[in-house]
Structure 1
Amino acid sequence: MTWIDLIIIAGYLGGICMLGVMFTRRQKTTRHYFTGDRSIPAWAVAASIVATETSTVTFISVPGIAFARGGNFTFLQLAMGYIVGRIVITFLFIPRYFRGELQTVYQLLQTRFGTPARMVSASLFVVMRNIADGIRMLLTAIVLAAVYVAFVPGHDTDGGREIATVVALLLLGAVMILFTYFGGIEAVVWVEVLQLGIYLAGAIAAMWVLAANVSGGLPGAIDLGDRFAKLTVFDFSFDLAKTYTFWSGVVGGCFLTMSTHGTDQYMVQRYLCTDRPSRAGAALLASGLIVFVQFVLFLLIGVLLFAFYRPFEQAGYATSAVTTFPFASPDRVFPDFITKHLPTGLSGLVVAAIFAAALSSSLSAIAGTVVNDLYKPLKPARTDGHYLTVGKVLILVFGVIQTAVALAAIRSASSALSNVLTVAGLVNGPVLGLFLVGAMSKRIPQSAAIAGMAVSAVAMVGLWWFGGKWVAWTWYPLIGSAIVIIVAFIAMPVFSPLGRDDRRGSDSALG
């Protein structure tokens, strides 16, 4: 990398901050700050969903999946489940989001199950999202640290890279906080539209350079990948411990998407930026097809990296405990190529693309959830201006928290993709179960539903702690939501006699 690359990177980060400031004058109400006044076009929302979903985790981790020893294209089975899940959300959930003036998805639970269910679900979202996005931020900091050590001789050591990663995290956290604080969700969505274009251009550029530098180009890399069984897409074995099989991908991926895209405010906030359910549904379905194509692209990059580095020719490849030998983790393969082997200009573009993928801010969704679902029930009858001020303060607070999570996870050697999706599966499964209970039956009372959610949350932590070796994270949302439904129906006769106050009206938004 050269100073030209650094100028490109710095220009991008500065531009993001300026874009956020440009939207400041429009942020006068909570409706505008948290939902963009419902005036954002569907195509921009679709691009925002793609940028939100893929982020740095896709850019860095997915190529590492195909590069790893024994890695292949079976990850695409999960993407198939993503599409199925989107179809279910479009017809089951999205029409309900547009009944009334909602700013968060958890407000639906208020009319069906009451304030406690709403507040518990919102709290789980806040915890999960801060952890997941802290890990996302760490991935980008790793790349920025690699850029630093490439420029500063003598710092290419474990200690030097760790210090550089810390500094990078602080810089990225500051940029993310600034543009979200000033511009609200409107700035976030339009920044994500820009991000999508930049990181797709960066990925295609990296793929072109890789293909030009491996024997036989892309066809040669594909032939090599076929020789090492890296092009396998389907695995029909029924093994609960395997992460990527047809059943865990399509069924588990469907429930994972129903939870992350159907009951997670991070995604639902994007739908609420449109003015009608048909446009929100079209944006969601279009995003699924784009995401699938993206996964194919990034897996092909992984095969090209395998052909470029040729790790199978090195001593110790077959016996190493690290499947991404000679790299310590799958998340370090692509960054190494970007910082060491891309030509001047392209290297800066791709690093900027990684930053673009990382700065898909969840701070607006988190702040909106805390204001509407946790703060307003405790402090009702305040002015909209008061709630807007609280929301802006919360963006600062949670920006610091996400940075702290990233700092705490610096020494993790596992794949960030696995970490992020495991956290999402643990938390979102119980929340999805609560929404499904509300949609399936009007007779289940609040107490029975909350009991099901509590049992599910405890069971999921136990499953992760004791059964992680036997059950892959792709099954977590299905298991978590199924426990809520089963317990709620079993507990219904116990709690129903508590009276009419424990039941919610038949005109519930979820009913």
Structure 2
Amino acid sequence: MGDVPDGVAGRPAERHRLGTGARRAGLLGPRAHRPQHRLARRPERLRLIYLAIGAGLYTYYAQHPVARLPRPDEIFPFFIRSAMPELLRGLMLSAIVLASIDSPLGSLAASFVTDIYRPLLAPGKSERHYLRVSRAAVIVFGLILAGLAYGFSFFENFLWLAFKIAGVTFGSLLGVFLLGLLTRVRANRANVAAMIIMALVNLALLVMSEYGVMPLGWSWLVIFGTVGTMALASVLAKVLDRAPAPRPVSP
């Protein structure tokens, strides 16, 4: 067995440990570390891609000078908007959009399948079935988000509208978090009830502020929701989350 110590050749466990140690030490040749070399080459390839893009932009604007270039970190978007052909521009923008929404779509699909579809609608199915449903959910949620984006495009000051809508529920979430972090109140059902009540209250306040009945900034909704959720959950916990009375021990 060459360099194998005496008594090791006949023991499979010892041969396995010896082989594993040899692979880790690099004694079995370059093939053992090929995955590590591939991982090490990836940053180099990314650097080459970035350098090629920068060199290409420099060469292009050296041959096609413009009156005023934007800041260095805006040259590439400026090139996409002003010089790139329409087909490539559309593909580039599509790639940027898909790169930014793939994580939310995956999270929505996973939450739907794990929390709603699998335990409530179709328990006991195969993993292949749930995989197909999750893929279909990605498409459905993508269409829903696209419709919402198209609908909100008709609104002015969309950012402030998003803040106002988020203020309806952000206060309730923060209130539950602070209640669990700062107090020892046991509130499970009470948390849910308090969140729903304060979300409805904040929604009513938002509608009244939009119609001018009560001038109220959207940031106050978060404060009201936080304080109200903590107070309601603390009170309702005494009713909704009471510990069951101990059963009498039979003699």
Normalised by the size of structure 1, how large is the TM-score? 0.29
Answer whether contact 1:444 1:488 (CA < 8 A) is retained: no
Identity of aligned residues (%): 24
Deviation track 1:339-388 (CA, whole Å, cap 9, x = no partner) reads 9xx64239999877755553321211111111112223314444333322
Alignment of 1:275-294 (within 5 A): none
| Aligned position for 1:394 | 137
CA RMSD of aligned residues (A): 4.1
Question: Matched residues in 2 for 1:210 and 1:490: separation?
Answer: 67
Question: Matched residues in 2 for 1:475 and 1:211: separation?
Answer: 47
Aligned with 2:181 (options 439, 449, 458) = 439
Structure showing greater relative contact order (alpha-carbon pairs closer than 8 Å, 6 or more residues apart): 1
Change (3 A) 1:491 1:400: same
| Aligned position for 2:159 | 417
Question: Matched residues in 2 for 1:474 and 1:348: separation?
Answer: 43
Matching residue's letter, 2:97: A
Question: Matched residues in 1 for 2:92 and 2:166: separation?
Answer: 24
- Report deviation, 1:416: 2.4
Deviation track 1:308-342 (CA, whole Å, cap 9, x = no partner) reads xxxxxxxxxxxxxxxxxxxxxxxxxxx9xx79xx6
| Aligned position for 1:345 | 84
Matching residue's letter, 2:68: A
Question: Matched residues in 2 for 1:347 and 1:419: separation?
Answer: 32
| Aligned position for 2:68 | 212
Q: Find out whether 1:405 has 2:144 as its counterpart.
A: no
Change (3 A) 1:343 1:367: closer
Other structure's SS at 1:450 match? helix
| Aligned position for 1:477 | 222
- Report deviation, 1:454: 1.4
- Report deviation, 1:489: 1.0
May I ask how many residue pairs the two structures share in their alignment? 174
Structure 1: which 5+ runs fail to align? 1-193, 219-296, 299-334, 501-511
Answer whether contact 2:185 2:234 (CA < 8 A) is retained: no
| Aligned position for 1:366 | 108
Aligned with 1:491 (options 229, 233, 236) = 236
Matching residue's letter, 2:244: G
Change (3 A) 1:343 1:396: closer
- Report deviation, 1:435: 3.4
Alignment of 1:16-35 (within 5 A): none
Structure 2: which 5+ runs fail to align? 1-49, 246-251
| Aligned position for 1:25 | none
- Report deviation, 1:459: 1.2
Alignment of 1:64-143 (within 5 A): none
Deviation track 1:56-107 (CA, whole Å, cap 9, x = no partner) reads xxxxxxxxxxxxxxxxxxxxxxxxxxxxxxxxxxxxxxxxxxxxxxxxxxxx
- Report deviation, 1:391: 1.1
Alignment of 1:428-467 (within 5 A): 428-467=170-209
Answer whether contact 2:109 2:137 (CA < 8 A) is retained: yes
Answer whether contact 1:437 1:449 (CA < 8 A) is retained: no
Matching residue's letter, 1:445: A
Answer whether contact 2:163 2:218 (CA < 8 A) is retained: yes
Normalised by the size of structure 2, how large is the TM-score? 0.54
Matching residue's letter, 1:345: M
- Report deviation, 1:434: 2.8
Other structure's SS at 1:393 match? helix
